[in-house]
Structure 1
Amino acid sequence: MNKRKICVVVASRANYGRVKYLMKAVKEHPQLELQLIVGASTLLYRFGEAVNIIREDGFEPDRKLYYIVEGETLSTQAKSTGLGIVELSTAFEDLNPDIVVTVADRFETMSTAIAATYMNITLAHLQGGEVSGNIDEKVRHAITKLSDIHFPASEKSKQRIIKMGEDASRVFNYGCPAMDILKNEELVISNEKMAVYGGTGKPIDWTKPYILVVQHPVTTSYGQGYEQVMETLSALNRFKAYQKVVLWPNIDAGTDDVSKGIRIFREMNRNEPFHYFRNFSPEDYGRVLNNAVCCVGNSSSFIREGCFLGVPAVIIGDRQESREQGQNVIVTGYSRKDISDSIETHLNNGRYPRNTLFGGGDAGKQIADKLATIECFKKKRITY
């Protein structure tokens, strides 16, 4: 019997953590063959070259695709989306997959969805149906309408997809595969384990309390990233007793403004306890997140993985506006006073109970099993 070919597209460092356990399950499944396309910022040094981590984990890409137009502006983001369609169409033609798997709501995800749709390839979408700020919500719902199989991460998201006219028999809530990492990996952190990452700034002792900082640009407030991140870092600088671990922002439009703010703050505060990193493996990011006394910024991982772990999180601005969340989250504006007050509240409270809102840590295998048996087809109809 011929194995069904499942082509997973990984086009950002964050999305690899979302699908790693699904990739493992597909690779081990007797009825499935894993195809892997790695592209966009996963190949770029300044965003951590996640492709190296992917290879170290035993996944060799079938194709590596460069389709990022330099500049990180609104215009180059749109152009990168178009170039991604061109490159992915050629790769899909060569690999001839039965199902393409794409994740979430990024511009790279849109490229994957459009290319697969116009090539009559069944498209499976993870993390559809969610509500959030930024441009992501528009993109996410557009991808839902292009997709044939849906794997949302929560029950509310599942119901939204069905209300959008998708066939309920093809919508499956198994949770987010990122929780599989947190459930199945050892999350103890140590200086020895983390020494490989180097980074810049004041040396960090991972055995002592630290605050994790991840702040990405917000496309819908393009041009304001410098001021936004400076408010965040200035608020954090008030907490002298805590080390700060700062992860570089993603490649969305406006990242140069955020990166500029981080670099200027770093040069002006060299003696302060801040350490800056480009990337971590999914497992090590889980360790960094799990052992933080508080997370600050606008990463969805603070809401998803933070909820599962019970790690206190301060979500700044509207990048995650209206997103489903657990009690570990405080949402605040960009004022340094509001940010520091929210951090103080979390530090006084401590950790929160674990919450399985986004899954219990067994999604990867369930999704792989469904991909092995579900009918593939090229036509779909709205259900109302």
Structure 2
Amino acid sequence: MNKRKICVVTGTRAEYGLLYWLMKEIQADPDLELQIIATGMHLSPEFGLTYKQIEEDGFVINEKVEMLLSSDTPVGVAKSLGLGTIGFADSLNRLKPDILVLLGDRFEILAAAQAAMIARILIAHIHGGEVTYGAYDDAIRHAVTKMSYVHFVTTEEHRKRVIRLGEHPNRVYNVGAPGIENIVRMSLLTKEQLEELLGIALEEPVFLITHHPTTLSSNPIEGTEELLEALNNFKNATMIFTKANADNNGRKINSLISAYVSQNPRKRKLFDSLGQLKYLSLLKYANVIIGNSSSGLFEAPYLETPTINIGNRQSGRIRPSSVFDCDPNVKEITEAITKALNYKFENDDQYKIFGDGKTSKRILSILKKIEIKPIMKKFYDGEII
């Protein structure tokens, strides 16, 4: 019997970290063949050539789709999207997967979804049904939902939203957030091990900072300069930055942060990519995570680290009480950091709203049993069940 071919697309360091355990489960299953397409920032020297980490983890990359231009303007990103669609069309034609697994809402994923839909390849989408009003990722996410056949969502609220988009309830599964699985299954580093790997002493308070472009704003770097100015009010803090992604003006944000870090290299450091193990270990020991990354809403509460969420990039997502939202101005950011540093987690599960960390096995069982057939979806107008 031929093995069912499951192709996983990954374009960023963060996304690969979320897919890692599912890829391991597929790789280990005797009835399945894992295929991997690496694209986007994984293939860029500017962002650390993180495809090498995938290979170091014991995976074989079957195809590499080069699509990033050196420009991060709207025109450059749109052209990258077009290049990606062309590249994915060729790669999928060579690999001929039975199922294509996509996660999230980035433009690389949209390119893969477009090519797969036209090729009539069944798409399984992870993290659909969520809302982020501050970025064009929101529209991409819902577009990929409509191109996908099976859906793996993180909460019951998100499941209902996907059904309201016209997807049949029998194909929408609440499996929890894959990022939580990393916390449950990984053996995180000790503080001493982490300090050695990072090359910096983690003297408290420790700030983990990731700030991405707000792509629907007239000023995509909004909040970056205000954040850096606010951080000057915490001169004793150890500040670990990770680079912004490749969206519009991401390079401008990275340039501003790089200049800021150079002013005090003993207490500040900027990394292209930390990788999942170092990132989650740092998140555990950090006193606060600051910026507008989704990890502050998903993983941070499970590690009992409070979050400063700046601006509206994550607006619309559900979040626990350990997340402090603030506008992108110096006063509000400073006040939010002060509050977060004094925040105390309660001894209950109110923060654990994204599942129990058993996501990959749930997804795997569905990928194995779902019928592969010509895709002819009907818009579901029925009751949400």
The amino acid across from 1:161 in the alignment is V
Match of 2:127 in 1: 127
The amino acid across from 1:356 in the alignment is K
Bigger Cα displacement from structure 2, 100-109 vs 274-283:
274-283
- Contact persistence 1:304–1:358 (CA under 8 A): yes
**RMSD (CA atoms):** 1.6
Provide the rounded CA distance (Å) in 1 between the counterparts of 2:370 and 2:224.
Answer: 45
1:196 Cα shift?
A: 4.1
Provide the rounded CA distance (Å) in 1 between the counterparts of 2:7 and 2:275.
Answer: 21
SS of the residue 1:101 aligns to: strand
Match of 1:51 in 2: 51
Pair 206,272 (structure 1): closer, same or farther in 2 beyond 3 Å: closer
Provide the rounded CA distance (Å) in 2 between the counterparts of 1:194 and 1:126.
Answer: 33
SS of the residue 2:216 aligns to: helix
Pair 224,115 (structure 1): closer, same or farther in 2 beyond 3 Å: closer
Match of 1:238 in 2: 233
Bigger Cα displacement from structure 2, 8-17 vs 205-214:
205-214
- Contact persistence 1:126–1:150 (CA under 8 A): yes
1:350 Cα shift?
A: 3.8
Match of 1:315 in 2: 309
- Contact persistence 1:212–1:244 (CA under 8 A): yes
Provide the rounded CA distance (Å) in 2 between the counterparts of 1:39 and 1:352.
Answer: 41
Match of 1:218 in 2: 214
CA-to-aligned-CA distance 1:187-235 (integer Å, 9 cap, x gap): 243343454455xxxxx2136441100001111125451x621211111
The amino acid across from 2:201 in the alignment is D
1:352 Cα shift?
A: 5.4
SS of the residue 1:220 aligns to: coil
1:70 Cα shift?
A: 1.5
Query: Does residue 286 of the first structure (1) align with residue 305 of the second (2)?
Result: no
Provide the rounded CA distance (Å) in 2 between the counterparts of 1:356 and 1:193.
Answer: 25
The amino acid across from 1:239 in the alignment is F
Match of 2:101 in 1: 101
Which structure 2 residues correspond to residues 1-384 of structure 1 after superposition, within 5 A? 1-133=1-133, 134-193=135-194, 195-197=196-198, 204-206=200-202, 208-225=204-221, 228-267=223-262, 269-270=263-264, 273-351=267-345, 355-377=351-373, 378-384=375-381
The amino acid across from 2:184 in the alignment is K
The two structures have a TM-score, normalised by structure 2, of 0.94
- Contact persistence 1:222–1:254 (CA under 8 A): no
1:241 Cα shift?
A: 2.5
1:374 Cα shift?
A: 0.7
- For structure 2, the 5+ residue unaligned runs are none
Provide the rounded CA distance (Å) in 2 between the counterparts of 1:160 and 1:282.
Answer: 29
- Contact persistence 1:307–1:357 (CA under 8 A): no
Provide the rounded CA distance (Å) in 2 between the counterparts of 1:266 and 1:242.
Answer: 12
CA-to-aligned-CA distance 1:50-95 (integer Å, 9 cap, x gap): 2111111111101112111211111111111111110011000000
Bigger Cα displacement from structure 2, 372-381 vs 352-361:
352-361
Provide the rounded CA distance (Å) in 2 between the counterparts of 1:175 and 1:51.
Answer: 26
SS of the residue 2:297 aligns to: helix
Pair 237,295 (structure 1): closer, same or farther in 2 beyond 3 Å: same
Q: Number of residue pairs matched?
A: 377
The two structures have a TM-score, normalised by structure 1, of 0.94
1:185 Cα shift?
A: 1.1
Provide the rounded CA distance (Å) in 2 between the counterparts of 1:323 and 1:124.
Answer: 22
CA-to-aligned-CA distance 1:91-127 (integer Å, 9 cap, x gap): 0000010000001111011011111100010000000
The amino acid across from 2:125 in the alignment is H
SS of the residue 1:33 aligns to: strand
Pair 54,351 (structure 1): closer, same or farther in 2 beyond 3 Å: farther
Provide the rounded CA distance (Å) in 1 between the counterparts of 2:345 and 2:50.
Answer: 30
Pair 349,159 (structure 1): closer, same or farther in 2 beyond 3 Å: same
The amino acid across from 2:276 in the alignment is P
Pair 224,151 (structure 1): closer, same or farther in 2 beyond 3 Å: closer
Provide the rounded CA distance (Å) in 2 between the counterparts of 1:77 and 1:12.
Answer: 15
